[in-house]
Structure 1
């Protein structure tokens, strides 16, 4: 599953896309303007970005140009708009956007476009492209070579604790993905609720979910949100 950044100034669009993508198993981060999108991109590179064109502070095409000029456009970006012209869509594609979605966006079109965007090959981080001077090239030699850059001081990944057909606190692995994911999410959110003494503001910050989405998710999972349960 992918980490997807949704950038749109309309809260209804953000929440709708977030719910759809979350149900598909993706991790979703939301930004309501270019400033929040910049911060999210610098914190962690998303696997894909859904970027609205018309926003009040900086429009999506300008943000796309900015990322391209800074060398940050190493992930697929899909533009969205309900009022864009063909020229705007062509310009965004020329800058580096992989596709364009016209609002209102249908579920089938959204999922198909995202799947196509995630399947596109991008320049892999940690690879440096080098070129030999033309006079040093042998006939038939490849002018470009890709050299992997060694990762320094990177510890080996810790093994995942596993016992039989269960994982991480007894979550059964021989059940449908959706059911296993719900079990994990209950453990995850109950942990953060307990750690933050049921402060929804702090839990929202820790989990990266907007409060409205957080309340909806906790209700869906059947998790008590008040402190009364914690103090009883």
Structure 2
């Protein structure tokens, strides 16, 4: 799970990107202009920013320059626009943007760009993992993405230990971790979707869709099953 800041003056774009990224398991912060983006950048220290170029107060390229010149461009930034020229995209890339998405943004291109951006974030962060076993509460998605160890066992209970091979593609490794994570909490909460939703911080509808997407057996954790 990553903290992603979406900066766009169009409400429809913000809502759409927020829904997609939330469904992917990320925490999403929204900003409709540069002023809100500055405040959010300082408050949550995002792992990745999706930044619109054309905004009413300060355009995205100018904000990108501001972050770069002040040493605040410590996270990958993906620029977005439906009207930008090639020169604008090139300029943003030279300043430090890692990618450029043209609106309307397709789901496939969005998820691919976000995955690549988060991979860059993970590579830059130091890893606290080693070859020793760690408990599920200590192993984060961020740690899995760093590739700091060839594998990281997760304790799912007295009779089950799940091991993740960190040399796998990011999406495969993340899906395996998320599946084990939710199976652990389902078993712990006796199959109660309501309690699992509270524990994991997801809305119940989002949680159900995520479990179905991951292929989690919803009967596995129920008492008496």
TM-score tier after normalising by the smaller chain length: 0.5 to 0.7
Cα distance, 1:116 vs. partner?
1.2
Q: Distance in 1 between matches of 2:122 and 2:156?
A: 37
CA RMSD of aligned residues (A): 3.5
Shift of 1:119: 1.6
Q: Is this contact kept in 1: 2:194–2:204, CA < 8 A?
A: no
Q: In structure 2, the residue corresponding to 1:84 is in which secondary structure?
A: coil
Aligned equivalents of 1:121, 1:219: Cα separation in 2: 29
Q: Deviations over 1:18-53 (max 9, x none)?
A: 010000011111111100100011112111000000
**Gaps in structure 2 of 5+ consecutive residues:** 127-135, 139-154, 159-181, 209-225
Seen in structure 2, the aligned counterparts of structure 1 residues 219 and 108 have a Cα distance that, compared at 3 Å, is closer
Q: Deviations over 1:66-123 (max 9, x none)?
A: 0001100010000000000000000000000000000000000100111111222689
**CA deviation string 1:105-156 (max 9, x = no partner):** 0000100111111222689579xxxxxxxxxxxxxxxxxxxxxxxxxxxxxx
Count of aligned residue pairs for this structure pair: 158
Equivalent position of 2:157 in the other structure: 164
Tell me the distance in 2 between the aligned counterparts of 1:49 and 1:5.
5
SS at match of 1:46: coil
What is the DSSP-based 3-state SS (H/G/I as helix, E as strand, rest coil) of the residue aligned with 2:115? helix
After the TM superposition, which segments of 4 or more aligned residues of structure 1 sit over 6 Å from their partners? 179-182, 218-222
Report the counterpart of residue 186 of structure 1 in structure 2: 198
Greater Cα radius of gyration, structure 1 or 2: 1
Task: String of CA shifts for 1:148-190, please: whole Å, max 9, x gaps.
Answer: xxxxxxxxxxx9499937xxxxx851759xx99974433577x
Structure 2 vs 1, CA of residues 186 and 221 (structure 1 numbering), >3 Å: closer, same or farther?
A: farther
CA contact (8 A) 2:23 2:206 kept: no
- SS of 1:72's equivalent? coil
Question: Residues 75 and 122 of structure 1 are in contact (CA less than 8 Å); yes or no, is this contact kept in structure 2?
Answer: no
SS in 2 for 1:93: helix
TM-score, L = length of structure 2: 0.60
Query: Is residue 6–residue 29 contact of structure 2 (8 Å, CA) maintained in 1?
Result: yes
Question: Is the contact made by 1:76 and 1:122 (CA closer than 8 Å) also made in structure 2?
Answer: no
Aligned to 2:63: 63
What displacement does 1:54 show? 0.4
Q: 1:173 aligns with which of 184, 189, 192?
A: 184
Q: CA deviation at 1:11?
A: 0.8
1:8 aligned partner = 8
Larger RCO, structures 1/2 (Cα 8 Å, 6+ apart) = 2
Taking the aligned partners of 1:174 and 1:184, their CA distance within structure 2 comes to: 6
